[in-house]
Structure 1
Amino acid sequence: MEFNDQIWEWSLVLPKWQNDLIRRLYQKSTLESKELKEVIDNILHENGFSERILNIIPLEKGHIPNKHLKDTIKITAIKNFKNIAAIEPEYGLEFSPDGLTVVYGENSAGKSSYAKVLKQACRAVDAKTKIHPNIYNSSQPISTADIYVQQNGIETIINRSVNTAPEQQLTSVSIFDTDCAKVYAESENEVVFIPTEFKIFDNLATHQTEIKQSLLQLKENLMKTLPTFHELSSSSKVKMFVESISYKTEEKDIQQNCIFTKEDQVRLEQISKDLKVLINSNPLKLTQELQRNINDITNLKNNLQYIRKEISFEKVKEFVTLHQQYLDSKATLAALTHEAFEEQPLDGVGSDPWKNLWYSAKQYNEIAYPEHSFPYVENDAKCLLCHQDLKDESRIRLTRFEEFINDSISQKTAQLDAHRQFWLSKLKSLPFTKVTDSSVRTFLNNDSPELDMKVELFIQSAMKVSTVLQNAESDISLSLEDIPGIELLPLKQIEEWLESKSIEMEHFKTLVQQDNSTDLQAEQNELVSKEKVFKRMEDVYRLAKIRHQVDNIDKAIKSLDTTKLTRKYNELSSSLLTDKFQSEIEKELKLLRREHILFKLNSRGVKGKTTIKLALDSSSKININEILSEGEQKALSIAFFLAEISSITSKGGIILDDPVSSLDHSRRDYVAQRLIQEAKKRQVIIFTHDIVFLHTLQKHAKLQKVNESYCSVRRNGKRAGIAKTEMPWITLSTSKRIKYLKNELPKLKKQESQLDPDIYFPNVKTWYMLLRESWERAVEELLLNGVIERFDASVQTQRLSKIKFTDELVQLVTEGMTKTSTFVHDESHAIGRIIPSNEEMIEDLKKLEQFSRLFK
């Protein structure tokens, strides 16, 4: 079975979260924090965390990269870049579907942007490539590009958003660049190479280890939140229960051991009181004090009842009515008094002082005139005050006064006032001082604050009623609306309190007889602990929940163990890391002249990792990175890449970005030759800035007759990635240079009549400079038949037999170089050479064409 079939069957028996994780890693080898959180949520959900959101998409067979596609897919173009680096949408590249395509461009020309888009879309060992928009003009939110592909004769376009997972269609296309050189230096003379086929195990192990650390941290954080119950007595049963709570603890267990009932509360209060009596008090003295307090409360109750009786609504109503009758009678009497005593010689007649004087005179009359009734006004009568004879007017006045005094209104008013004064005296005598200053109130307040507060409210309201009623003594008007409400006297509660205290007193006597303080203290300790736990029931349930969560996290952590990954890796590596792969690596190293570096395939995995160890053929224990240069390490990575490509049965294309940087000439030549060999079997696309490497590729492509295509990428100011089918001038052959110069002549012809001579002449000089370089290229390519070329390090002696070398040819070269040099080099002002005409330039170019035709 092929690798993807093996993985597919294996994935079917995996947990759903792991199956989903494999799918994610095939789509994107490095997961971001958000995706890792989703995976963690999936694991936790499958292990009992129902509140975690499940986000699982099962792995499908199409998700697994398949490098053995029957119909090889080929990339024909890449176009329509939007918001990618400095490349404008109108630019793009086209590739030959068969053979070799070389994209040449100097540094910062933009070729790497094209290469990165392909790298992200295809299969690359390095999955960390990040494509950035134009940092100077990034107005679009999304970066996109179109990749044109051909498969089985059908052309399609992949509309790709960059910085996303690779395209499943392009997994058979492999890419190599500097970042893909997975060669690492390790101790003990070892380099570790991870084959791409088995990278899924490394990714799985890496991410599962990372997730495991996250879960361990989550567990640690949860453990830090575990509620503690240090306040509980260590000897209590409830403390032992709380400490025994685990994921197995059920709600009924918590209810049974931690609920603190009303009965428990009553019992605890009673025990506390009993212990206070037995341990901290003199029971006999306490009983006596309690009896005294009972007596005092009884007296307080009686006084309160008396107050309540004397200011009951009925009596208050009666007093208000009496007072109003008095006021009405007094008003009537005042009116009559005014009428009886008006125009008297002195003021105040009829007033209370006057009445006192009148009644005193009346008593004196019994002494002065005992035989006559008051007032005695006969002819011999004298004034009882001044003892002067009474005049007729005085006799009339005294008689009128006595008639008024004896009137019924006056007597009624006096009676009402007397009755009213009796009431007021009773109000003044109410025992408010006793009930407010009673020492037992302090005891009552401490023992039953609520009851004492009700008593106090009643007393205060009763005092207000009494005060309002007593204010009536000043003869102010009074109505029932003026009387404030009176609070309810808690008589029943007082009686119940007295009854409970009587029972308590009897209980105290019993306690003294039993004396079981030890048992009571143990029971109190248990009830106190239970009460404390009950007040923290939420913490108890949270403790049980955390214990349950921790157990689920432990299960999740256990499921992340990489032992099974290692076992599966060993199984697959033993069957799929074949001798062919080993022989291919040995062959590539030999051709790279690095056969002295011995290596072995290690099919034993560690946490899902596949390792191929390379060791120097030396007895010295020296690290490879201390011996091998950067170029040698690059050569090793290319060897592994080419060996892997050779081991794949499909003919998927390969793309290389500057594959020979840091390599010396001989290995560049080998790499170029090796890639041309691959171009015979598959599509090969090479990005390079190395003109020598480009020349080497061209040379081997011609020698091996491989279909070849070339284009260049250039930068113009801020615009990059400008693609042209024409290669740079320095790479062109003689015939292509002649074609270029010929195309420039019409442009110069137009400039000849339009431009200022000072501007036009430098353009002509440039044209002649390129014509001179073309003669030089013709000497290398044609006259010397490529025996010696400037970009080739070797001398092709086998070409000497076909060289045409005559005096006539030498003469043509001499004349051509002389003519072109005239316009290239700086001249004296005295010469004053005339600018050649366009017709003259045409004739000069024809001489090079004639020279070129002589070699056909």
Structure 2
Amino acid sequence: MELNNHIWEWSLQLPKWQNDLIRRLYQKSVLDSEELKEVIDNILYENGFTDKNFNITPLEESHIPNKNPKDVVKITSLKNLQHIAAIDSEYGIQFSPDGLTVIYGENSAGKSSYAKVLKQACRAVDEKTKIYPNIYKSGTATSTADIYTQQNGSENIIKRIVNTAPESQLTSISIFDTDCARVYAQSENEVVFIPTEFKIFDVLATLQTEIRHRLLLSKEALLKTMPTFNELTSSSKVENFINSITYQTKDKDVRGNCIFTKEDQTRLEQISSDLKVLSHSNPLKVAQELQRNISDITNLKNTLQNINQELSNGKVKDFIFLNQRYLDSKATLEALTHEAFEEQPLNEVGSNPWKKLWQTAKQYHEIAYPQHAFPNVENDAKCLLCQQDLKEDARIRLTRFEEFMNDSISQETRQLHEERRQLLSKFKLLPFTKVTDSSVRTYLYIDSPELDMKIELFIQSAVKIVAQLQSVENDIRIELEDVPLLESFPIKELDDWLQVKCIELEHLKSLVQQDNSAELKAEQYELISKEQVFKRIEDVYNLIKTLQQVDKFDKAIKSLDTTKLTRKYNELSNSLLTDKFKEEIENELKQLRREHILFKLNSRGVKGKTTLKLSLESSTKININEILSEGEQKVLSLAFFLAEISSMHSNGGIILDDPVSSLDHSRRDYVAKRLIVEAKRRQVIIFTHDIVFLHTLQKYAKLYEVNASYCSIRRHGQRAGIAKPEMPWITLSTSKRIGYLKNELPKLKKQESQLDPDIYYRNAKTWYMLLRESWERAVEELLLNGVVERFDSAVQTQRLNKIKFTDEIVQLVNEGMTKSSTYVHDESHAIGRIIPSNDEMIEDLNNLEYFSKLFK
């Protein structure tokens, strides 16, 4: 069973987390919650969870317990137990480094607390042993103990902190206790045994299974948080994509399938509009109405363009300049007129009414004197208005008037006035009302209120401009800055709007022709689904992230599979569990008398456990627990344990805690003898509460001349673990009982003079009761030479030839028993017996001692 090198070489090939876990289990087989979390974090980190802490300490060869060291370590004492159960720290236990040490204690005496400290310190793989301080005292002090050892002649003290990793220097010591004694009923007709050095595999597999279960729970919890898309009720491309998402899905795949673009939004709106038209309207009628609106808006646009053109900044500027020229020319003309007509008989000559009269007369002249130039001032000429002959001064006046009217200033003024009048007329005729009262404006306002508002602002500004320009009719001078600015004409917006509507019209016409409602509804659902998913795009990425974590969990869970462990363990068990070891087990089973149960022995690994199996050779399949009693199961466990230590190359010590509970007397006897045999070549420490087993050990230790020491553990009230070399009275030989009774006599002598006689009498009666029991033990041990003893199951007939039996001996026994019985039994008050003195008690004890010397 040289397993160390194999485990070391195998561990170097393992993942770091598993290598670290083996180290932890060797140092402390039961991991606390924090340590278990570190292990789980290591596993998750190695499988891609980079947010987890990574806490790895590699396994070293020295961590692996060595059951076969060159120099065997022996425990010499266990002392200074602090905060361990109710153990009194004043006491401790001494162990014989060679041979046998038996620690006897009744239940609740504290024996198990001493045993637990050693078991926990020595056992490399221990799942159960947990040590607690005194539960009846408050406080959180650390529990400690000092273990004194001896190795190759040198002494050492291990300052142990309990509930920590086993002590590496003590791993050569083997432990047998209730946990070891369990025989695992693996299945029908099979009993399982796990050799000590293979238990690391069992613990490793068990813990990996537990971690695997925890990771499965974590994975299930993670799956519950995974986003779902229940709103996708029917099959669509995006739903198919969502359903196909794995931990390998790339960002580009998400963008390609789940991004809802502006073009998608426009298309969805178009489809929704188309379906609305197809479902709730007459497409042809809608197309015709749209055609009319397009035509009306086009006309409106042309009207607005005309207004914009006529009220352009250049034309307004030209008009203002024309008005200024006209007013300047008019002022000049007025000055000239005043000068020309200053001395005329009538006022306002040269004014506008006068000019009109002049023009009318000029027109009449063409009728009256068509062959003469205007004005006709010849001698026979008549006045065109009064038909009288013209006098000289009238001829001169008419000629002067015509010269004035033909002057360039006068003509320019007339021309500018006419141009201004025409422009003003044109301004007044601009179609503002046509724009403001257009019915298509309502449609435009509903369809594009912003565009309609721009048109309204444009018209309002145009009206204000025209009103300002019309004020020049009163021949007032205005400046360009006095005229409001013309709002921007939204020609581009109108063109864009018309273009969109024309496209829409063509689309409507195609709808009328195709009527593809089914295809549109399918496309609409695709786009709606895509829009719904896009609104939850973060959930899509979270889904991928969750699946990536699930994949990492799967890898971590897969790494915890015990199949490879089982395969490796089978390989090691086949090569290391030799036939010699199996023969040792067969021999032990034979010695423990299990012949009535037929077994066959085989070894194999199951779920990470490397085991030896005893298969019941029976035609009927039945549960082992229904066949084997508790005692028989313990017999099997003892056989395994004894075979295991026998196959080791070293003589490492063994510690056994109550090894024979549930065993019958014959098997108890064999175990005692077997352990005494082991004590001849190794240190053996036994904890027991079985007085018969203790007696049997004493008997065989004496018989095989094995060095043996004994210790008893007692409880005094609340103080437990009081260890003394004196064994209980019931186990003492005659000579030791005589010694004990001698030691009690000085105490009784003192009590005789100082205590109340009644109290002294009771103590004296107790002393005589022990004296009587000593005579009885002397009869078994000395007179009968141990042929028959109360704790021995056998009658030793071979001892009969050494029995001494004389009248003197019989008389001594009768007298001794009679005297001691006198004070033990209840008596009548009428007797009035005197209380024995200390001298009398010494004499009675001397009689027993004289009796014992007769047999030496």
TM-score, length of structure 2 as denominator length: 0.73
Alignment CA distance shift 1:798-1:269 (3 Å): same
Q: Deviations over 1:443-483 (max 9, x none)?
A: 9689769999xx9xxxxxxxxxxxxxxxxxxxxxxxxxxxx
Partner of 1:93: 93
Counterparts of 2:57 and 2:244, CA distance in 1: 40
Q: Deviations over 1:342-374 (max 9, x none)?
A: xxxxxxxxxxxxxxxxxxxxxxxxxxxxxxxxx
Contact 2:27 2:124 in 1 (8 A): no
Q: Give 1:727 shift.
A: 0.5
Question: Secondary structure of the residue that 1:685 maps to in structure 2?
Answer: strand
Partner of 1:157: 157
Instruction: Tell me if 1:44 matches 2:37.
Output: no
Partner of 1:249: 249
Partner of 2:287: 283
Counterparts of 2:25 and 2:274, CA distance in 1: 72
Contact 1:109 1:713 in 2 (8 A): yes
Which residue identity lines up with residue 512 of structure 1 in the other structure? L
Q: How does 1:810-825 map to 2 (within 5 A)?
A: 810-825=810-825
Contact 1:28 1:165 in 2 (8 A): yes
Partner of 1:363: none
Q: Deviations over 1:398-442 (max 9, x none)?
A: xxxxxxxxxxxxxxxxxxxxxxxxxxxxxxxxxxxxx9xx99999
Counterparts of 2:231 and 2:163, CA distance in 1: 57
Counterparts of 1:731 and 1:298, CA distance in 2: 132
Partner of 1:140: 140
Question: Secondary structure of the residue that 1:605 maps to in structure 2?
Answer: strand
Question: Secondary structure of the residue that 2:714 maps to in structure 1?
Answer: strand
Alignment CA distance shift 1:822-1:220 (3 Å): closer
Counterparts of 1:296 and 1:140, CA distance in 2: 96
Q: Give 1:577 shift.
A: 0.8
Partner of 1:733: 733
Q: Deviations over 1:179-230 (max 9, x none)?
A: 3213133544221222222223333333333333333444444344333335
Contact 1:103 1:710 in 2 (8 A): yes
Q: How does 1:95-494 map to 2 (within 5 A)?
A: 95-123=95-123, 127-232=127-232, 236-262=236-262, 264-266=264-266, 268-269=268-269, 272-273=272-273, 276=276, 280=281, 282-286=286-290
Question: Secondary structure of the residue that 2:604 maps to in structure 1?
Answer: strand
Alignment CA distance shift 1:828-1:604 (3 Å): closer
Which residue identity lines up with residue 772 of structure 1 in the other structure? R
Moved more, 492-501 or 774-783: 492-501
Contact 2:600 2:617 in 1 (8 A): no
User: Where does the alignment leave 5 or more consecutive residues of structure 1 unmatched?
Assistant: 300-434, 456-490
Q: Give 1:82 shift.
A: 2.5
Moved more, 745-754 or 11-20: 745-754
Partner of 2:759: 759
Q: Deviations over 1:5-32 (max 9, x none)?
A: 0010011011112212222232343445
Q: Give 1:90 shift.
A: 1.6
Contact 2:71 2:152 in 1 (8 A): yes
Q: Deviations over 1:291-344 (max 9, x none)?
A: 999999999xxxxxxxxxxxxxxxxxxxxxxxxxxxxxxxxxxxxxxxxxxxxx
Question: Secondary structure of the residue that 2:602 maps to in structure 1?
Answer: strand
Q: Deviations over 1:488-510 (max 9, x none)?
A: xxx88999977765554334333
Which residue identity lines up with residue 506 of structure 1 in the other structure? C
Counterparts of 1:261 and 1:766, CA distance in 2: 106
Contact 1:116 1:129 in 2 (8 A): yes
Counterparts of 1:275 and 1:658, CA distance in 2: 90
Counterparts of 2:106 and 2:452, CA distance in 1: 99
Contact 1:22 1:204 in 2 (8 A): yes
Q: Deviations over 1:720-747 (max 9, x none)?
A: 2111110111111122112111111221
Identity level (%): 72
Counterparts of 1:221 and 1:447, CA distance in 2: 53
Alignment CA distance shift 1:135-1:441 (3 Å): farther
Counterparts of 2:451 and 2:494, CA distance in 1: 15
RMSD over aligned CA atoms reads 3.6
Partner of 2:801: 801
Contact 1:103 1:687 in 2 (8 A): yes
Q: Give 1:794 shift.
A: 2.0
Which residue identity lines up with residue 637 of structure 2 in the other structure? S
Partner of 1:570: 570
Contact 2:710 2:725 in 1 (8 A): yes
Partner of 1:67: 67
Instruction: Tell me if 1:511 matches 2:494.
Output: no
Q: Give 1:520 shift.
A: 6.8
Question: Secondary structure of the residue that 1:804 maps to in structure 2?
Answer: coil
Q: Give 1:608 shift.
A: 2.4
Counterparts of 1:614 and 1:640, CA distance in 2: 11
Partner of 1:357: none
Alignment CA distance shift 1:443-1:222 (3 Å): farther
Partner of 1:854: 854
Partner of 1:606: 606
Q: Give 1:618 shift.
A: 4.2
Q: Give 1:66 shift.
A: 1.3
Moved more, 187-196 or 688-697: 187-196
Q: Give 1:852 shift.
A: 2.5
Contact 1:23 1:59 in 2 (8 A): yes
Counterparts of 1:450 and 1:43, CA distance in 2: 66
Q: Deviations over 1:255-313 (max 9, x none)?
A: 344333445545554555566556656233356578999999999xxxxxxxxxxxxxx
Moved more, 538-547 or 263-272: 263-272
Which residue identity lines up with residue 692 of structure 2 in the other structure? V
Contact 2:786 2:796 in 1 (8 A): yes
Partner of 1:717: 717
Question: Secondary structure of the residue that 2:96 maps to in structure 1?
Answer: coil
Counterparts of 2:142 and 2:152, CA distance in 1: 31
Counterparts of 1:807 and 1:494, CA distance in 2: 151
Partner of 2:835: 835
Alignment CA distance shift 1:448-1:606 (3 Å): farther
Contact 2:301 2:491 in 1 (8 A): no
Q: Give 1:614 shift.
A: 2.1
Which residue identity lines up with residue 169 of structure 1 in the other structure? Q
Counterparts of 2:810 and 2:667, CA distance in 1: 37
Partner of 2:652: 652
Question: Secondary structure of the residue that 1:597 maps to in structure 2?
Answer: coil
Contact 1:451 1:494 in 2 (8 A): no
Q: Give 1:34 shift.
A: 4.5
Question: Secondary structure of the residue that 1:24 maps to in structure 2?
Answer: helix
Counterparts of 2:527 and 2:699, CA distance in 1: 98
Partner of 1:429: none
Alignment CA distance shift 1:726-1:495 (3 Å): farther
Counterparts of 2:252 and 2:124, CA distance in 1: 58
Moved more, 282-291 or 609-618: 282-291
Instruction: Tell me if 1:3 matches 2:7.
Output: no
Contact 1:67 1:172 in 2 (8 A): yes
Q: Give 1:754 shift.
A: 1.7
TM-score, length of structure 1 as denominator length: 0.73
Q: Deviations over 1:736-788 (max 9, x none)?
A: 11211111122112222221112121111111221222222222222222222
Q: Deviations over 1:112-156 (max 9, x none)?
A: 121122222222776212333322224234333222222222222
User: Where does the alignment leave 5 or more consecutive residues of structure 2 unmatched?
Assistant: 304-435, 457-486
Contact 1:102 1:710 in 2 (8 A): yes
Partner of 2:344: none
Counterparts of 1:622 and 1:762, CA distance in 2: 61
Question: Secondary structure of the residue that 1:835 maps to in structure 2?
Answer: coil
Counterparts of 1:82 and 1:296, CA distance in 2: 106
